[in-house]
Amino acid sequence: MKIGVAGIGTVGVGVIKILQSHAELLKDRCGQELEVVAVSGRDQTKDRGVSLDGMTWYTNAVDMVSDPNVEMILELIGGSEGVAKDLCVAALKAGKPVVTANKALIAVHGTELATLAEKNDAPLNYEAAVAGGIPIVKAMREGLSGNAISRVYGILNGTCNYILTEMEETGGDFDAILSDAQALGYAEADPSFDVDGVDAAHKLAILTSIAFGTPVDFDNVYIEGIREVSALDIAFAKEFGYRIRLLGVARKNNGGIEQRVHPCMVRKDTAIANVSGVFNAVVAEGDFVDSTVYEGRGAGEGPTASAVVADIVDVAAGRISPTFGIPVGRLKAIPTMPVESHVGCYYVRLTVLDLPGVIADISATFRDEEISIESLLQHGRAPEEEVSVVLTTHEVKEDALLRALSKIEKFDHSLAKPRMIRIAKL
């Protein structure tokens, strides 16, 4: 199998390293030799630590498709538009298999690409797009095929998980830990894609499609990042027996689908709470298999390249799955449930003046919205000073909680916007 690699950064180099160092093993595993015959990148002269000898260099990746020597395309350029998309479209139209690590592309144009793949009988694999080295796409498309999935959720962004874990361990605040993470290479110079939850949302949209047999619907993912999570929230979470994780959750619920990415309180004895640092983890719940958990490194040269190579081996061995597990024509749109209709328990932190009657006013507001308080903490400071009132609720519909918080925000003794974090029911 002769391969063209488009985009020769970290992942591309990792893939070439695997193909070169495990050549014999891979031949045993897929029944044929895997050879990179063409490469495309920005700078041909750069030393990348791997030999590109004998590979044809393309300045324009799309031109690789018409190279008769190239039988399979690896798209490792990234981004949902531009060359990455053009390349995949061209390759699939030419009937050439595509393997990509591009979560944005699949999340935004997945259905269109799947349609092309099917029409031209060309496989489209993207294991590396979700949770790096963890073979979760394979598990969902094939390993759990005997199940109707009811919920899939997980830690889908290693940068956020690293920051939250460090905040928990050091007591530091978001900004300081983010700077450290940037210095260590765990966060980008512009971290917004990660810390604002967009990256996790791309991955969640893909998992949702495979889990429920729906067209990918990235636009309807509710997204909330981790910038607002404070050291105070993390400390209170601990006091209540929780940790804070950025979760992506997709769930079938009353005929609709919830897709949401936001910080969650997770009970500290759950598998998810024990996933630390840059690791990712996904939990898939099926009607026969019950709960299954998958954990591993969600990014980095080796893990991402591992996933890409597994996809290549599958194609070379002739093990083909429909892009989202079922034929495109069988994908059924399912309405999105707005996050306001979510029913769950909540953590709330209020910043108020420590005056007589404050707690009474707060409790009355919750009562009026029929919200039942499960526990309440007030760490006393001096009277008439700023104080945090922290509480958790029993199950309540999110819009009722939001109404209560909006009323409380308008109190005279309210000193800051109330903070709310959803408590995950795992």
**Residue selected from 50, 139, 334, 415 as contacting a second copy according to rule CB under 8 A:** 139
Contacts with a second copy in 119-138 (CB under 8 A)?
A: 127, 133-135, 138
Contact flag: residue 255 with a second copy (CB under 8 A): no
Please identify, using beta-carbon distances, which residue of 145 and 372 lies nearer to a second copy.
Answer: 145
Contact flag: residue 328 with a second copy (CB under 8 A): no
**Residue selected from 54, 146, 356, 380 as contacting a second copy according to rule CB under 8 A:** 146
Contact flag: residue 78 with a second copy (CB under 8 A): no
Lookup: tokens for 264: 């969650």
The size of the interface with a second copy (CB under 8 A), counted in residues, is 60
Query: One of 203, 268, 407, 410 is an active-site residue; which one?
Result: 203
Q: Are strands 386-393 and 343-353 parallel, antiparallel or unpaired?
A: antiparallel
**Residue selected from 327, 341, 370, 395 as contacting a second copy according to rule CB under 8 A:** 327
Contact flag: residue 274 with a second copy (CB under 8 A): yes
- Rounded Cα distance between 129 and 308, Å, is 9
**Residue selected from 320, 353, 359, 373 as contacting a second copy according to rule CB under 8 A:** 320
Contact flag: residue 353 with a second copy (CB under 8 A): no
**Residue selected from 156, 200, 308, 401 as contacting a second copy according to rule CB under 8 A:** 308
Please identify, using beta-carbon distances, which residue of 143 and 344 lies nearer to a second copy.
Answer: 143
Cβ 166 to a second copy, closest distance in Å?
A: 16
- Residue 203 annotated as catalytic: yes
Contact flag: residue 271 with a second copy (CB under 8 A): yes
Contact flag: residue 296 with a second copy (CB under 8 A): yes
Catalytic residue numbers read 203
The footprint of a second copy (CB under 8 A) covers 14, 17-18, 22, 25-26, 28-31, 127, 133-135, 138-139, 142-148, 213, 269, 271, 274, 281, 286-297, 302-303, 305-310, 313-314, 317-322, 325-327, 330
